[in-house]
């Protein structure tokens, strides 16, 4: 799901969602993040939870990461951060709150990491809340982290040290990307103009170790993004209760869209209206579903084969390339028709003018 609005509304929606989930499952297992993005989230959650008299005593929590600090470090640990902004304000059971250690001395690091992963495996992760680093790190999975990474110690990048104003802090414990993706519901929260370039890279690039957040696109997650963060990615005509997108910045911008539903009441509407766009969406791996009002509803596999033959014969007179193009989609149509003939993945009979529009936009 993709939620886009002003930051206050975004935080309201996240908090409302989380409270609903806790009411449905009082022993919810949650993985929390830290950082400036999360402070308004936790403040609003505390406010709403108190007003609603929400019982938090059965909630199980984990944190994504933790700095490795020296004993006299002036830097605030994430344990302190979470207690200050969330846990100390509500009736969380501190026995059910789990942190990674903030000191690596005098502990067996391997055992500590193994125990943390075992706890996550035991309780599961119902909800995982993530922020986005300026260099596209999630948790502290810095550039170079792979999709198979698990909980470990990692050296922080110079950009992260600078962005977080760290003094004499060079490494941290972090949950890995593979562990994060085990979450039943994963949420990426991105607010503020500072994150605009990071969210743009997230949507434009295929999954890569150069931008670790892109690995989240291998599955469905929930995006909670405010206008300031997304404004360098999209141009908007107006902002009201809904956001109206004026245009894509370039053809690669469609990469993040996974599923597209097109309504076409007449055989040639989809092609003449957006034939070139359909082709581009398909090239970027999107799942295109076209709902025909009249031609294909209720057709069985044999009837679809007959239509396929007649239409391909007609189109072959226009251009052999387009015949091959239709052939590719017809295989998808026939496979999907087993479940529901009302939703198909391809255009039907195309007039010559419609065909020219497609050819000109390829």
As annotated, the active-site residues are 65, 135, 137, 142
Our CA angle for 7, 9, 12, nearest 5°, is 110
Provide the β-strand partners of residue 66.
173
Task: List the beta bridge partners of residue 359.
Answer: none
Ramachandran angles phi, psi of 276, nearest 5° = -65, -40
Distance CA 179, CA 115 (A): 13
CB 349 within 8 A of CB 311: yes
d(CA 273, CA 271): 5
Distance in Å from the first CA to the final CA of the chain: 29
Report phi then psi at 232, rounded to 5: -80, -10
Contact 76, 43 (CB under 8 A): no
The DSSP output letter for 296 is S
């Amino acid at each position: 799901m993709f939620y886009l609005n002003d930051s206050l509304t975004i935080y309201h929606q996240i908090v409302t969602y989380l409270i609903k989930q806790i009411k449905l499952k009082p022993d919810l297992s949650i993985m929390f993040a830290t950082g400036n993005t999360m402070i308004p989230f936790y403040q609003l959650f505390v406010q709403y939870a108190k007003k609603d008299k929400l019982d938090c005593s059965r909630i199980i929590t984990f944190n994504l990461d933790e700095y490795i600090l020296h004993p006299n470090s002036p830097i605030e640990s994430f344990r302190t951060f979470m207690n200050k902004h969330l846990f100390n304000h509500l009736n969380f059971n501190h026995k059910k709150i789990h942190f990674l250690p903030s000191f690596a001395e005098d502990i067996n690091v391997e055992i500590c990491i193994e125990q943390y992963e075992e706890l996550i495996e035991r309780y599961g992760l119902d909800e995982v809340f993530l922020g986005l680093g300026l260099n596209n790190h999630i948790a502290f999975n810095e550039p170079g982290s792979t999709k198979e990474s698990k909980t470990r110690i990692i050296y922080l990048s110079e950009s992260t040290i600078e962005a977080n104003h760290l003094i004499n802090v060079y490494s941290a414990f972090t949950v890995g990307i593979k562990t994060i993706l085990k979450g039943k519901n994963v949420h990426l929260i991105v607010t503020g103009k500072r994150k605009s370039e990071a969210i743009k890279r997230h949507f434009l690039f295929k999954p890569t170790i150069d931008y670790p957040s892109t690995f989240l696109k291998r599955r469905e997650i929930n995006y909670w993004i405010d206008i300031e963060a997304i404004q360098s990615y999209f141009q908007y005509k107006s902002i009201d209760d809904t956001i109206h997108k004026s245009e894509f910045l370039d053809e690669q911008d469609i990469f993040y869209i996974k599923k597209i539903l097109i309504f076409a009441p007449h055989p040639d509407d989809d092609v003449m209206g957006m034939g070139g766009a359909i082709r581009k969406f398909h090239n970027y791996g999107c799942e295109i579903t076209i709902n025909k009002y009249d031609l294909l509803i209720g057709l069985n596999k044999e009837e679809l084969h007959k239509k396929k033959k007649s239409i391909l014969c007609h189109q072959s007179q226009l251009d052999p390339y387009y015949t091959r193009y239709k052939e590719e989609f017809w295989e998808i149509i026939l496979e999907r028709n087993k479940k529901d003939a009302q939703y198909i993945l391809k255009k039907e009979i195309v007039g010559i003018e419609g065909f020219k529009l497609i050819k000109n936009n390829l």
